[in-house]
């Protein structure tokens, strides 16, 4: 079944809108944070990390499907929906997402710097600065919306193809990975919280939904198409998570020890280099940089979209605010002393701590505020799943606060 409405000349624009939302969500979910987190945790847990990926995909399914559908039905930005449901909640959600988005974007710029380092040997801070300036150029363009969509789609496809090449080459122990997907030797809650935060927490939760909102693809008349598009995005990111994990696992299982602690640590780059030699390092640089630059764009775009909770914004003022957001992220990255790889792991965990707050608000809207959804009575099985995931993410967050902040030495 197609993930898009039936094709007609008029629906070509709709198809592009859904594709843009899918790739904004997918490239945000498979950003440099996830790549670095995957290398770090696969080196620590081996094949048992497959269970954490499965948990992240199941949580992703519930979170994204409900957020996309409820946003389409309310026809409102997430912060506006939250304020309408619980006065003041939208301001809290906006602040948390923007702070988390800033932390994530510092990590995204760090990832871009690591990518440049792998490709050209540049100092990660210089590479990060160059990448941030390129992202700023997208939002200063007179056709920022079109450039945003095409950049995300093109770079997303490039990233997928390159990662598949490495996954095939590294010869991972697929049987053991499949077994531990269901029956892991160890379950590590901080790891699960971090990987969930890096793939669906914080701003990522709302990225695709807000892009659909900006495209006008909302309302009950579009609900079926929104559902199919959301499922398509989740499927793409789910497959890519396992492919990337298998690529790293093949290297780790062969006995290679990855550097996880030094200031220059770039564990994923080491894994790619072992799999394909010097070419592997260059391919890794392309993959990580593509993941990073799309995530810099996505984090800035989505985080700034929450400013509507505080002020009305035109397209121009929003683009200017986005440029400022990226500039601040860059300034923090250039001055911070934390190792880039450790920073990328931490910000995933931080956004995992934010996730249950927004999901709780949206679950409440689905259960009790049909008036905000045009009288639509929301799917009860999906809401029950959402309530279960809410409870699970609150529990994981409680168990994980200390270990997550320990990534920064705090």
Q: Are 22 and 217 in contact (CB under 8 A)?
A: no
Q: Which of residues 83 and 142 earns the better pLDDT score?
A: 83
- What pLDDT does residue 1 have? 45
Supply the DSSP symbol for 404.
H
> With 70 as the cut, is the pLDDT of residue 310 above it?
yes
> With 60 as the cut, is the pLDDT of residue 314 above it?
yes
> With 70 as the cut, is the pLDDT of residue 307 above it?
yes
How open is the CA angle 234-61-341, to the nearest 5 degrees? 70
> With 90 as the cut, is the pLDDT of residue 385 above it?
yes
For residue 307, give the nearest of 80, 144, 139 by alpha carbon.
Answer: 80
- What pLDDT does residue 337 have? 56
CA 261 – CA 259 distance, rounded (Å): 6
Tell me the per-residue pLDDT of 28-72, one tens digit each, with 9 for 90 and over. 778 777 787 788 888 888 889 999 888 888 888 899 899 999 999
Q: Are 159 and 369 in contact (CB under 8 A)?
A: no
Instruction: Tell me if 10 is assigned to some domain.
Output: no
How open is the CA angle 17-22-26, to the nearest 5 degrees? 150
Across 289-373, the runs of DSSP E, i.e. the strands, are: none
Distances (CA, A) of 125 to 63, 113, 119, 336, 345: 34, 6, 14, 10, 18
- What pLDDT does residue 9 have? 46
CA 7 – CA 15 distance, rounded (Å): 8
> With 60 as the cut, is the pLDDT of residue 258 above it?
yes
pLDDT category at 113 given cuts 50, 70, 90 is confident
Instruction: Tell me if 9 is assigned to some domain.
Output: no
Q: Are 203 and 53 in contact (CB under 8 A)?
A: no
Residue 41 belongs to domain with CATH number: 1.20.1740.10
Tell me the per-residue pLDDT of 202-247, one tens digit each, with 9 for 90 and over. 788 888 888 888 888 888 888 888 898 888 888 888 888 888 888 8
Instruction: Tell me if 11 is assigned to some domain.
Output: no
Structural domain total, the chain: 1
- What pLDDT does residue 5 have? 46
Supply the DSSP symbol for 170.
T
Instruction: Tell me if 8 is assigned to some domain.
Output: no
Tell me the per-residue pLDDT of 125-168, one tens digit each, with 9 for 90 and over. 899 999 999 999 888 876 766 777 777 778 778 877 887 888 88
Most confident of 151-160, 380-389, 390-399: 380-389
Q: What is the torsion angle, in degrees rounded to the nearest 10, for the CA atoms of residue 249, residue 252, residue 255 and residue 258?
A: 170
Residue with the two structure tokens 């710029």 = 109
Residue 10, burial from CB neighbour count under 10 angstroms (0-12, 13-18, 19+): exposed
CA 391 – CA 406 distance, rounded (Å): 24
Instruction: Tell me if 7 is assigned to some domain.
Output: no
- What pLDDT does residue 103 have? 80
CA quadruple 24, 25, 27, 32: dihedral sign: positive
Instruction: Tell me if 3 is assigned to some domain.
Output: no
Instruction: Tell me if 6 is assigned to some domain.
Output: no
Q: Are 252 and 46 in contact (CB under 8 A)?
A: yes
- What pLDDT does residue 55 have? 86
Question: Within 13 Å and on the Cβ side, how many CA atoms surround 375?
Answer: 0
Residue 387, burial from CB neighbour count under 10 angstroms (0-12, 13-18, 19+): middle
- What pLDDT does residue 203 have? 82
Q: Which residues form the domain of 139?
A: 16-406
Please report, rounded to a whole number, the percentage of residues in the chain having pLDDT higher than 70: 86
Alpha helices (runs of H) in 121-266, residue ranges in sequence order: 124-140, 144-169, 174-182, 189-199, 204-215, 223-253
Tell me the per-residue pLDDT of 169-204, one tens digit each, with 9 for 90 and over. 888 888 898 999 998 888 887 777 777 776 777 788
Instruction: Tell me if 1 is assigned to some domain.
Output: no
Q: Considering the chain, what is the average pLDDT of its residues?
A: 82
CA 176 – CA 181 distance, rounded (Å): 9
Tell me the per-residue pLDDT of 335-366, one tens digit each, with 9 for 90 and over. 875 555 666 667 667 777 778 888 999 999 99
């Amino acid at each position: 079944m197609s993930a898009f409405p039936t094709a007609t000349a008029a629906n070509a624009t709709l198809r592009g809108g859904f594709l843009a939302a899918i790739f904004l969500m997918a490239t945000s979910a498979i950003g440099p944070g996830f790549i670095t987190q995957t290398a770090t945790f696969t080196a620590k847990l081996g094949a048992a990390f497959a269970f954490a990926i499965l948990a992240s995909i199941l949580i992703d399914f519930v979170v994204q499907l409900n957020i996309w559908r409820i946003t389409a039905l309310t026809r409102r930005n997430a912060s506006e929906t939250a304020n309408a449901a619980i006065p003041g909640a939208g301001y809290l959600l906006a602040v948390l997402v923007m702070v988390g988005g800033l932390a994530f974007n510092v990590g995204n710029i760090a990832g871009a710097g690591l990518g440049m380092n792998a490709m050209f040997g540049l100092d990660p801070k210089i590479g990060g600065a160059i990448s941030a300036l390129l992202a700023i150029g997208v939002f200063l363009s007179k056709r920022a919306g079109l450039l945003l969509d095409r950049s995300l789609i093109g770079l997303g496809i490039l990233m997928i193809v390159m990662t598949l090449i490495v996954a095939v080459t590294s010869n991972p122990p697929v049987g053991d990975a499949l077994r531990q997907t269901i029956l892991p030797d160890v379950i590590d809650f901080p790891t699960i919280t971090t990987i969930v935060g890096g793939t669906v927490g914080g701003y990522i939760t709302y990225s695709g939904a807000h892009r659909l909102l900006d495209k006008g693809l909302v309302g009950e008349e579009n609900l079926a198409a929104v559902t199919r598009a959301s499922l398509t995005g989740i499927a793409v990111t789910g497959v890519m998570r396992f492919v990337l994990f298998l690529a790293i696992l093949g290297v780790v299982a062969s006995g290679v020890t990855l550097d996880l602690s030094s200031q220059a640590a770039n564990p994923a780059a080491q894994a790619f280099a072992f799999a394909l030699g010097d070419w592997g390092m260059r391919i890794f640089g392309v993959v990580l940089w593509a993941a990073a630059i799309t995530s810099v764009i996505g984090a800035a775009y989505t985080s700034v979209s929450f400013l509507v909770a505080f002020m009305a914004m035109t397209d121009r003022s929003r683009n200017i605010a986005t440029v400022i957001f990226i500039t601040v992220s860059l300034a923090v990255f250039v001055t911070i002393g934390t190792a880039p790889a450790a920073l990328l792991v931490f910000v995933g965990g931080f956004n995992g701590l934010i996730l249950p707050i927004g999901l709780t608000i949206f679950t409440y809207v689905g259960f009790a505020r049909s008036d905000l959804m045009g009288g639509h009575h929301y799917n009860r099985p999906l809401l029950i799943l959402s309530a279960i995931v809410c409870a699970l993410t609150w529990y994981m967050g409680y168990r994980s606060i200390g270990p997550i902040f320990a990534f920064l030495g705090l």
